[in-house]
Structure 1
Amino acid sequence: MSDDRLHICHVLLTDRFAGSERYALELANWQAQRHRVSLILPRSAAENRDDALAHRVDAQVQIHLLGGWKLMRSYAACKVLQRLRPDVAHAHLSQACKAVAALPRGRTLRTATLHIHYKSQQHRELDALIAIAPWQLAAVPPQLPCEQIDNWSVAPLPTAGTRAALRAQLGLSDDVLLVGALGRTERSKGLDLLLQAWRQAALPNARLAIVGDGRDWAALRRQAPADVIMPGFVSNPQAWFAAFDLFVSAARSEPFGLVFLEAMHAGLPILASASQGAMHLKSLIQRPLLPCEDVPALCDALRAIAAQPPARQQYPLEGFQLPNQAAHIEAFYRRQHNALLRL
């Protein structure tokens, strides 16, 4: 470092927008206000589609796009890192971790965020790790520095009429209870369990919306009743949170649950299974958590809430703000980079 500015290079080798991608892009965009920031993405992340990544990146971030085969992305990313020689190489998700770990140990801090859980083959050769929730720490070897820094959520700007406009588009009057789930449509999210509970609950004057896309979308659509709303990926999730009356997570596994913070920003009451993320945020959720994979319990809880729908509420989210968490991450970089240079 020639001055107080760091050269930070984020490595993200996926190409569709979801929670981990949001974390990486928001962090890179924020850091670019005071540091030199680079971002390595696959070329497919710059395609012209709503769920792509490159169009979400601030102009101050220097993007490096990788072509070639998907299986070669880690190798190609490592070559870019060797050329850039950043102070910090920050990996996000599996392929990126392999790319950063392949860098020779030296002046670049090789780190990653544990978006899911510690995996020895991906993380053991790195210099340090960031955990997003306390439960992740137990699996990390004691010799590998790891600091827990909570995720964050950026409060959306309020837009007058958002709720009414979307509900009108869906053909829903304001007295209809709209129960919503939002996230990747994959097994870990428990959306198949939610559909089972929804059919059993048979709530009057209520609709269910499952918002998001993923490998299980078609299978879920086939098993869902025709009146379940399933728009797929949406570019305006804040509008859907505004339209919901209740947010539900039936997740089998949820490492942190950024979506919980998003629902809280919208003031939504939350009904959640006791996933790892929900347990971490239990004091904020302020509602008893349900056993994971317990369809009857979820059915009963839906019926109880429908009988007496709770009002929107304010949540104390001061500890989950991007400026504060980014400052913690920068301090982590500096401590670990200094320790690396002393070796």
Structure 2
Amino acid sequence: MHLSATDPGPRVLHLTQPVDGGVARVVTDLVRSQLTAGLHVTVACPDSPLAAELRRLGADLRPWRATRSPGPGLSGEVLRLARIVAAVRPDLVHAHSAKAGLAGRLAVRGRIPTVFQPHAWSFEAVDGSAAALALGWERRGARWAARTVCVSEAERMRGVHAGIPGNWSVIPNGIDPARFHPAAPGSVRPAVLPDVDPAAPLAVCVGRLCRQKGQDVLLRAWESVLRRVPDARLVLVGDGPDRARLEAEAPGAVLFTGPVTETAPWYRAADLVVLPSRWEGMALAPLEAMACGRPVVVTDVDGARESLPPGLAPTCLVPPDDPAALGAAVAGLLGDPPLRASLGHRGRRYVLSTHDVRHTAQAVAGVYRELLGSRPPAPAVPTEYRESIHS
């Protein structure tokens, strides 16, 4: 995939739904780097702040009406996406997360080199018959992906053990060190939390308010934290479908910020960043927090454990769905400033050496080169795409 000033780069079409959280940040970082490298980048996604930001960066935006979860409107979503593919005529399609991966692979059917990046497997998000259907689809849909890109080795092994075939690449998530970096002590918290004692021990949880991220477990653990650290405060940064329920369950020492446009100030304001997820591909929040020099506590789930520097597991890793263990780890670190400082320094060094977003972009570019290096652009999917999605 040779690029020059006079030879336009390949045409890449990114497909994404969801349009918020970590997936949106990954897409934004990739689009930014690919535009800089000279690729012609188009993104198909629902109208959203993400769409506006990608358009501002210079990407070609194609509105794609699609819900976050599969439903009765799937066939229409696939048809709309096939028409976008036909109009854009990409050399390569890169589908992000379960929904876009489902609709995108059904629309393209392998006619164009397709990269699928699950960002955590769809069958982990549901139970019972829904999980069986999702797993069945992932096994079948794998034949239409020229490459499956996982963000952690654990995510890849999860797919292999589930019987999903494929050509695999593991490319860990990265963060932008120019955006996520430490701030001078005491310079941030008054700006984001003017009504909170600057000396109060502060734990922050950044993530979509949903079952996956486990904020309900953290709230159950928080009472035990307050027994050991009575002046501690907790901030849940973000929005999501579980917000109303979580607010109803929360004790008085918990603040909900709602949606925010910039998360870095919240990491810098924190003494400790907590992510009590039930499952992950590789969450960005711990990486961003460590880049800001903050210690983290995460749950021992696939992807999350790989985000930690070697040797930190005994202090920073707890079992999922275990409020007692989570509360003990959080209280212990909130009460030990020297240990927090040491962990923060170690975490920042680790993230800068292994999770720089520039390394991530280079690795993705390598995958594209492998898929396109000796192949001419593939023909577009016909505009009048009418093939049954069940065939």
When normalised by structure 1's length, the TM-score is 0.88
- Output the amino acid matched with 1:180: V
Q: Determine if the alignment matches structure 1 residue 133 to structure 2 residue 133.
A: no
Q: CA deviation at 1:200?
A: 2.1
Please state whether the residue corresponding to 2:257 is helix, strand or coil: strand
Q: CA deviation at 1:133?
A: 0.6
Pair 1:143–1:248, CA change in 2 (3 A): closer
1:240 aligns with 266
Q: CA deviation at 1:199?
A: 1.0
Please state whether the residue corresponding to 2:304 is helix, strand or coil: helix
Please state whether the residue corresponding to 1:208 is helix, strand or coil: strand
- Output the amino acid matched with 1:326: A
2:214 aligns with 190
Question: 1:278-331 deviations in whole A, cap 9, x for unaligned?
Answer: 221232582421112121112222232233232242332222122221111111
Please state whether the residue corresponding to 1:37 is helix, strand or coil: strand
Distance in 2 separating the partners of 1:78 and 1:335: 24
- Output the amino acid matched with 1:332: V
Distance in 2 separating the partners of 1:62 and 1:200: 50
Distance in 2 separating the partners of 1:62 and 1:209: 37
2:14 aligns with 10
Q: Write out aligned runs for 1:25-64 (5 A).
A: 25-33=28-36, 34-42=38-46, 44-45=47-48, 52-57=49-54, 58-64=56-62
- Choose the corresponding residue for 2:114, options 110, 115, 127: 110
Q: Determine if the alignment matches structure 1 residue 318 to structure 2 residue 337.
A: no
- Output the amino acid matched with 1:14: P
Pair 1:168–1:302, CA change in 2 (3 A): closer
Q: CA deviation at 1:207?
A: 0.4
Distance in 1 separating the partners of 2:245 and 2:9: 49
Question: 1:109-154 deviations in whole A, cap 9, x for unaligned?
Answer: 1111121127325444222211111012232468521111111011
Pair 1:285–1:37, CA change in 2 (3 A): farther
Unmatched segments (≥5 aa) in structure 2: 68-72, 123-137, 379-391
Q: Which has the higher contact order (CA 8 A, sep 6+)?
A: 2
Q: CA deviation at 1:243?
A: 0.8
Pair 1:82–1:167, CA change in 2 (3 A): closer
Distance in 1 separating the partners of 2:217 and 2:66: 39
CA RMSD, 1 decimal: 2.6
- Choose the corresponding residue for 2:198, options 150, 174, 178: 174
- Output the amino acid matched with 2:176: V
The answer to whether the 8 A contact 1:13-1:73 is kept is no
Pair 1:143–1:174, CA change in 2 (3 A): closer
2:133 aligns with none
Q: Determine if the alignment matches structure 1 residue 216 to structure 2 residue 237.
A: no
When normalised by structure 2's length, the TM-score is 0.78
Distance in 2 separating the partners of 1:207 and 1:142: 43
Q: CA deviation at 1:342?
A: 12
Distance in 1 separating the partners of 2:22 and 2:263: 12
The answer to whether the 8 A contact 1:12-1:96 is kept is yes
Unmatched segments (≥5 aa) in structure 1: 46-51
1:77 aligns with 81
1:334 aligns with 369
Q: How many residues align?
A: 333
- Output the amino acid matched with 2:170: Q
Pair 1:68–1:89, CA change in 2 (3 A): closer
Pair 1:41–1:342, CA change in 2 (3 A): closer
Q: CA deviation at 1:221?
A: 0.3
Q: CA deviation at 1:219?
A: 0.4
Q: Please, which moves more after superposition, 285-294 or 226-235?
A: 285-294
Distance in 2 separating the partners of 1:214 and 1:220: 10
- Output the amino acid matched with 2:325: A
Q: CA deviation at 1:61?
A: 1.0
- Output the amino acid matched with 2:83: K
